[in-house]
Amino acid sequence: MDQRKAIIYALAAVLLWSTVATAFKLALRYLTPLQLLSIAALTSLLTFAAILSVQRRWREVWQVGRTRIGFYALQGFINPAAYYWVLFAAYNQLPAQQAQAINYTWAITMSLLAVPFLNQKLTAKELFAMLLAYVGVFLIATGGNWDFAQTNWIGIGLALFSTLLWASYWLLNTKNTDKPVPALFWCFAWGSLWLVLFNLINTSVDTQSSYFNVPWQGIWAGVYVGLFEMGITFFLWLTAMRLATKTAQISTLIFLSPFISLILIYFILGETIQITTLIGLSLICVGLYRLRE
């Protein structure tokens, strides 16, 4: 029974995550990456606060926050502040199909970072899986063309840098024993404080940047991203993993997300899905699957 519930929660999370690449691009028609992130992060913070209120866990939350101020200040700087700012900047530069496919290589990046930070060793099988995934990234980035002048290297660089930030966030969490929802609340609380600072700096540099001029479409798009990329969907996935009696069965469902996302990108954004994107994404998913075996 628990496994069935876990699959339902996981499928709900996967379906919601499948929509966010499209939501990012729609939101960025009305907002800058920093504006989108600020609205989404605040929405997520309020979502986690609501969940904790329903669960009556505020005493636990304050205890965690009091004892680990430095840790969560750093975590909040990485995620959501730095990671999502870089990711949204990548989406601002690239077609959605490219940005979302490259973003899925964060698990490969984490395996690479685990070598110097956790003293882990890579097997020949893992190295082959990584090579396979990055061949997929190359195909997606270049569109299969050898004319590299047509490749948006800034956008590709931002997308790859976002995987570095996301992998670093999870590596720092490997020994974190705090419960997930209070931990996420403090990450987003500190992240929101960092974003206030970023906005103050940005406003002093660009006096035209104002939240008073944000159209209602942008606000709703930012709220959607906050709810279904960061807030509710994280909670659904964490609940699925907690209920699961077979976690491998649950974690495999995540591979549905990028392909469902491509369908939405095609029909809603009107992007022509390149054959190289399909091949490249397939190579990335095969590489990720082999890495998890």
pLDDT at 245 over 80: no
pLDDT at 77 over 90: yes
Radius of gyration of the chain (CA): 19
**pTM, entire model:** 0.91
pLDDT of residue 56: 92
pLDDT of residue 28: 95
What average pLDDT does this structure show over 56-63?
92
Of the candidates 100, 105, 63, the one whose C-alpha atom is nearest the C-alpha of residue 284 is 105
CA–CA separation, 68 vs 173, rounded Å? 13
In degrees and rounded to multiples of 5, residue 22 shows phi and psi of -65, -40
pLDDT of residue 60: 92
As separate numbers, helices (DSSP H) first and strands (DSSP E) second, the chain gives 15, 0
Instruction: Write the pLDDT tens digit of every residue in 112-132.
Output: 888 887 777 888 888 888 888
Residue 106 pLDDT grade (very low, low, confident, very high; cuts 50, 70, 90): confident
pLDDT of residue 144: 64
Joined together, the tokens standing for residue 54 give 């329903």
pLDDT at 249 over 80: no
CA–CA separation, 22 vs 36, rounded Å? 14
> Is the CB of residue 181 less than 8 Å from the CB of residue 57?
yes
Could you tell me if residue 144 is left (phi over 0), alpha (psi between -120 and 50 degrees) or otherwise beta?
left
Instruction: Write the pLDDT tens digit of every residue in 10-40.
Output: 899 889 999 999 999 999 999 999 999 999 9
pLDDT of residue 83: 96
Exposed e or buried b per residue across 132-152, where buried means at least 16 C-beta atoms within 10 angstroms of its C-beta: bbbebbebbbbbeeeeeeeee
DSSP 214: -
Each as own residue / partner, the long-range contacts of residues 242-246 (CB below 8 Å, 24 or more positions apart, any chain) are 242/6, 243/2, 243/3, 243/5, 243/6, 243/9, 244/2, 244/3, 244/6, 244/10, 245/2, 245/3, 245/6, 246/3
Contacts of 42 (CB under 8 A, 6+ apart): 192, 226
Q: Percent of the chain, pLDDT > 90? A: 47
CA–CA separation, 39 vs 31, rounded Å? 10
Q: Would you say how long the chain is, in residues?
A: 293
Measured CA to CA in angstroms, residue 63 lies from 51, 54, 90, 178 at distances of 17, 18, 37, 10
Joined together, the tokens standing for residue 45 give 């913070």
* Cβ atoms within 10 Å, residue 289: 13
Q: Which is more confidently placed, 145 or 281?
A: 281
Instruction: Write the pLDDT tens digit of every residue in 181-228.
Output: 899 999 999 999 999 999 888 876 655 556 667 888 889 999 999 999
24-28, 77-81, 82-86, 145-149: least confidently modelled range: 145-149
Of the candidates 235, 274, 284, the one whose C-alpha atom is nearest the C-alpha of residue 55 is 235
Please state, rounded to an integer, the average pLDDT across all residues of the chain. Answer: 87
